[in-house]
Structure formats: structure tokens, C-alpha cells
Amino acid sequence: MANFLEQIFTRKVVLFLIIVFAVGFIIGLIGVYWLDMEKGLII
Amino acid sequence: MKVIKFFGLIIVALGVLYGGFNAGVYSYVYYKKFQQKRALKKFQEGIKKQEETERQKLMADTYGGKTPQKTLQMFIEAVEKGDYELASRYFILEKQEKELDDLKNAQKKDIKNVLNLLKQSLQYQGKYSQNENLYLIRKPILIEFIKYPSGIWKLTDI
């Protein structure tokens, strides 16, 4: 099992997933900020 | 196998993207809530401080009697002596300056008339408000009093 996971989650894949997470995080942050500021979404 | 791996990675990536998106949204929401809480706390503290300052100001004002009648008596005596500065101090803080001006600019004859009315009003029984913080004499002229936190009575209006 450990070997299988090591095969799939290589350094490149992990780095890629971290970047994907960061991109999602930024999109969410900017998106909700825009909704709050421009559209007056009350949080 | 490669195709499965590729699509698997795509699905995982989409999941991670969604997770990141949610983390971004909630981070902003929590930060905003934290900011609002902090601002509210600051505002409440400001109000409390202001109230305390106001209370201390009122506590420091010792011009007045333990009863409305006593305050009125003291006011009459001060005006009779011509000590308008002292007389004006028997009014609430906000009105002292205006009352001092009024007394200084009033004619002696008018002051005498008002003093006579005030002396008469000492004979009349006024009425306390429900919480006993206000006192009102209606006859022969309307005189309003308020009780300060220190327990002394101040003139609100004549």
C-alpha cells in the first residue's frame, strides 16, 4: 500500500496538488472578497 | 493504467481545488467575523469609557442639595447675593453656561419677579418620577430637577 501511494504521489504530483490547492484558495478568497465589496454580500 | 492514473489525478486535483476554494472562502469569512468582533469590542469599550468619564464628571459636581427643595433654596440664596456664578452651578452641567449668561444679562426687576415665584414654589409640593430621579414643581412656575448619581439634585429647567 505504502509503495502504491509512493508511486502515485510523487514529488511532482504533490507539488502540483499544492499549487492547485493554492490556486483554489486564492480564487475563493478573491471571489468572496469581490462578492463582499462589490455586491455588498453581508457576511 | 496511465489513463486511469491521469483521470484519477484530475479528480483528486479537482477535489483539492474545491477544498482550496472552500478554505479561501471560510478564511475570509472568519477573518471578517474576527474583525467585526474586534470592532464591536472596541466600540463597546469606547462607550463604557465615555459613560465612566461622564459619570465621574457628574460625581465631581457637588453643587446642589440632598433634596430638590434644598437645591432651589440654595439657588435662590445665591441669586439674592448676586453670586450668579454660584447660582448657575446649581443647574445641570450642560446648562450652566447658558444660565450664567441669562442671569448676567437679565434685568434686576425680572430677576426679582422670578425669585418671588421661586420662593412661592417652595411652598408647593412637587412630584417625583417613578424611579424618583426626577422632580417637578408645576406651580406657580414649572421647575424641573434631576438627581445626579452622587445623590445631589440639580436644576434642569426653570
- Considering only residues B120 and B25, tell me which one the structure prediction assigns the higher pLDDT: B25
Whether the per-residue pLDDT at A42 is higher than 70: the answer is no
Is residue B51 within 8 A of residue B137, CB to CB? The reply is no
Q: Phi and psi at residue B123, in whole multiples of 5°?
A: -80, -25
Predicted pLDDT at B28: 93
Predicted pLDDT at B124: 82
Cβ within 8 Å, pair A8-B5: yes
Return mean pLDDT, chain A.
Answer: 85
Predicted pLDDT at A43: 62
Cβ within 8 Å, pair A28-B29: no
Element (H, E) at B128: strand B127-128
Q: What is the torsion angle, in degrees rounded to the nearest 10, for the CA atoms of residue A16, residue A17, residue A23 and residue A29?
A: -160
B35 part of contact set with chain A, CB < 8 Å? no
Q: Which of A21, A30, A36 sits opposite B16 (nearest CB)?
A: A21
The domain spans of chain B are: 1-60, 68-157
CA distances from B116 to A12, B76, B77, B110, B123 (A): 99, 9, 12, 10, 12
Strand pairing category for B127-128 and B134-137 = antiparallel
For B98, residues 6+ apart whose C-beta sits below 8 A from its C-beta are none
Mind listing the pLDDT tens digit for each residue in B14-73?
999 999 999 999 999 999 999 999 999 999 999 999 999 988 888 888 888 888 889 988
Mind listing the pLDDT tens digit for each residue in B80-117?
888 888 889 999 988 888 888 888 888 888 888 888 88
Q: Mind telling me how many Å the CA of A1 is from chain B's nearest CA?
A: 16
Predicted pLDDT at B153: 92
Is residue B113 within 8 A of residue B77, CB to CB? The reply is no
Whether the per-residue pLDDT at A3 is higher than 80: the answer is no
- CA separation for the pair A7, B64 (Å, rounded): 89
Q: Which residues of B touch A24 (CB under 8 A)?
A: 16-24
3-state SS assignment for residue B154: strand
- CA separation for the pair A35, B113 (Å, rounded): 69
Predicted pLDDT at B36: 92
The ipTM, to two decimals, is 0.84
B123 pLDDT tier (thresholds 50, 70, 90): confident
B12 part of contact set with chain A, CB < 8 Å? yes
Q: Which amino acid is at B20?
A: G
B1 pLDDT tier (thresholds 50, 70, 90): confident
Cβ within 8 Å, pair A17-B5: no
Cis peptide before B68 (omega within 30 of 0): no
Measured CB to CB, residues of chain A less than 8 Å from chain B are: 8, 13, 16-17, 20-33, 36, 43
* pTM of structure: 0.59
Predicted pLDDT at A10: 82
Whether the per-residue pLDDT at A41 is higher than 80: the answer is no
